[in-house]
Structure 1
Amino acid sequence: MATSPKVLFLSQRKYVIDLLQEVKMIDCKPARTPLDSKLKLDLEGEPLSDISYYQRPVSKLIYLTITRPDITYAVSLLSQFMHAPTEAHLNIVKRILRYLKGSIGRGIIMKNNGPTQIMAYTDAD
């Protein structure tokens, strides 16, 4: 997190590096996009023998979407298969991790645009 009087930058750079090290992909080749443009998710396929190998990184990716809205769609697709993942789904996880490798420093910039007024109305009938 970097701050100044007018800007707040939220990044989970260390979290991404730790995740890449955990899944042994710190030296992987970066990808330009989180998903392949010709992706076709198939419900059929060879199920994984150990689904925790899929569930753990996907859970961490879900947490990462707080500061990385660019991976939100891809992670939401993967989270639908938490109970019955296949090799194809695991390959998509690896693609997202390769994308993160190439964009480690990205995050969210929040700017101070001046005073904010909140107005609310209620019917206390």
Structure 2
Amino acid sequence: MATSSKGLFLNQRRYLLDLLDEAHMLDCKLGHTPLVSKLQLDAQSEPLSNPSVYQCIVGKLIYLTITRPDIAYSVSLVSQFMHSPTLIHWEIVKRILRYLKGSIGRDLLMKKHGSNHIMAFTDADWAGNALDHKSITSFCTFVGGNLVT
């Protein structure tokens, strides 16, 4: 956390660097997006030999979404496979980590606007989930112009 005349900057830079180190990805190539645009998950992929590593990294990614809402969808996707992750799921987690490495300087800025006006936006994708054809919905809420959920 840092303050300036612009407002309060929230980040988890140290946490992210520790996470990349734990995943042995400090020297990885940088990623530009957390997911490929036309993601195809193969349900028949080989199971991971040690799912606890996957579960630990994904759990830490969930915590990281507090200050990195840009990864919320991709992390929610990989968290659906905590009980039986496969090699394809692990590749998606590594892609998220490469994206985070390439965007380490992104912070969440909280400005003082002098109002507590609440605005919310929602979106839905009818039957957009390729796995089970369920709808995908999302929302964001702003208080005083600052993203809070």
Give the TM-score normalised by structure 2.
0.75
Letter in 2 for 1:62: I
CA distance in 2, matches of 1:107, 1:89: 27
CA distance in 1, matches of 2:18, 2:4: 27
Name the counterpart of 1:71. Answer: 71
Instruction: Extract structure 1 runs of 4+ deviating beyond 6 A.
Output: none
Name the counterpart of 2:105. Answer: 105
Letter in 1 for 2:99: Y
Identity of aligned residues (%): 66
Relative to its length, the structure with more strand (as a share) is: 2
CA distance in 1, matches of 2:117, 2:106: 30
Q: Secondary structure at the match of 1:109?
A: strand
Name the counterpart of 1:2. Answer: 2
Relative to its length, the structure with more helix (as a share) is: 1
Letter in 2 for 1:112: K
Alignment of 1:77-92 (within 5 A): 77-92=77-92
Quote how far apart the aligned CAs of 1:3 are.
1.1
Sort the Cα spacing of 1:117 and 1:87 in 2 relative to 1 into closer, same or farther, 3 A.
closer
CA distance in 2, matches of 1:17, 1:34: 17
Report which of the two structures shows the higher radius of gyration computed on alpha carbons.
1
CA distance in 2, matches of 1:79, 1:7: 33
Q: Which runs of 5+ in 2 are unaligned?
A: 119-149
Q: Secondary structure at the match of 2:101?
A: helix
Give the TM-score normalised by structure 1.
0.88
Q: Secondary structure at the match of 1:72?
A: helix
Please, what is the CA RMSD of the aligned residues?
1.6
Letter in 2 for 1:82: M
Quote how far apart the aligned CAs of 1:117 are.
7.9
Identify which range, 92-101 or 43-52, moves more after superposition: 43-52
Name the counterpart of 1:114. Answer: 114
CA distance in 2, matches of 1:6, 1:115: 16
CA distance in 2, matches of 1:57, 1:88: 15
Name the counterpart of 1:49. Answer: 49
Quote how far apart the aligned CAs of 1:37 are.
1.3
